[in-house]
Amino acid sequence: MHPVAPLTLSAVLAATVLLSGCGTQHGLSGGERTSGSPSCRPSPTAAGTTGTTGTTGTERDDVTLLGPGCGSVLANEFQVANNGTEKLTYTIGFDVLNDSGHVMSNVRQTVAAVGPGQTVKATVEPDTSAPGGGAASRIRISQVRAVPAGEAPSTAGACPPSGIHLSADEGDAAMGLRVVGLRLTNCGTGPYRLSGHPGLQLLDEKRTPVTGVRMLQGTEEISSGLEPAPAPQAMTLQPGESAHSSLAWRNTTGSGDPVNVPYVRVTAKPGAPAVTVTPELDLGTTGRLGVGAWRKTTS
């Protein structure tokens, strides 16, 4: 259960490069590291205007839309400029709009390991066959999240030095109840021992610690409708085996200021390297988060 609509990459994004004659090619998944200006940069205004909100959506945090790509009004080049002091991995949400300015769908793209002072350029292009009420016309930036590159979550690819892939799913939501799953896979060459609950540190938009939230051992106090979790057990994951946990909360609001937690630093066990995920916790004013124990995945 999750408050944010899923951003389905395969439904609305296709990997593209700029057409020949438009200068340097820029890949979708990673982009080109460069400090120069693009050789083809139309005005960004036309690419981002929503027609409904009065804002362009062409620039947000470190990400800027650079306008339609050469040869297609639907291709949009964008750049990520890391103005910070550490290497970051960015996840960028885009809204795909029709001619009337209505959101047809959402897409998400990751640009990995952008160094301090570095600029990375890439191109997105909506799939014109995607459903959603009209032809795709424009793209705007809807959300930007950035985590330290060394703490970026992973589900596949090269095995990190920690020996595990760790990530959060997109969750589910109903009647104010939210649940997000954590998944850990042993991608190393030896056994990985695990027990208890994952360790969590809650972080705000600026990735500074959030205080005042009670961490509950288990999720039963959040909702009686959730499956009771067994007592924490020690386990050994052989290479390729996985375990899972869950985070549960309610977004009920009452007196006081609602608490929103976009980032969570997760440690699989004491002493393990942290992984920063973005479950977008909208905790309302409840001040509670249920944390399930690790359970070995059987299927």
Co-location of 13 and 140 in the same domain = yes
Indicate the pLDDT class of residue 172, thresholds 50, 70 and 90: confident
Q: Pick from 107, 123, 149: which residue ends a domain?
A: 149
Is residue 111 located within the same domain as residue 189? Answer: no
Same domain, yes or no: 18 and 140? yes
Q: What is the mean pLDDT of the chain?
A: 80
In the chain, the number of structural domains is 2
The confidence band for 279, taking pLDDT boundaries of 50, 70 and 90, is very high
Does residue 19 register a pLDDT over 90?
A: no
Q: Which of 102, 125, 149 is the last residue of a domain?
A: 149
- Poorest-confidence range of 8-17, 30-39, 213-222? 8-17
- Asked if residues 171 and 178 have their Cβ atoms less than 8 Å apart, the reply is yes
Which residue carries 């609509």 as its tokens? 5
* Residue at 4 is within a domain: no
What separation in angstroms does the CA of 22 have from each of 18, 46, 225? 6, 18, 56
Same domain, residue pair 141 and 198: no
Q: Is there a domain that residue 118 lies in? A: yes
170 and 261 belong to one structural domain: yes
138: pLDDT confidence band, cut at 50, 70 and 90? Answer: confident
CATH assignment of the domain containing 188: 2.60.40
Is residue 158 in a domain?
Answer: no
If you average pLDDT over residues 232-243, what whole number do you get? Answer: 96
**Token pair listed for 126:** 């909506």
> 227: domain range?
164-296
Tell me whether residue 199 is in a domain: yes
Q: Considering 82, 117, 149, which residue would you say is the last residue of a domain?
A: 149
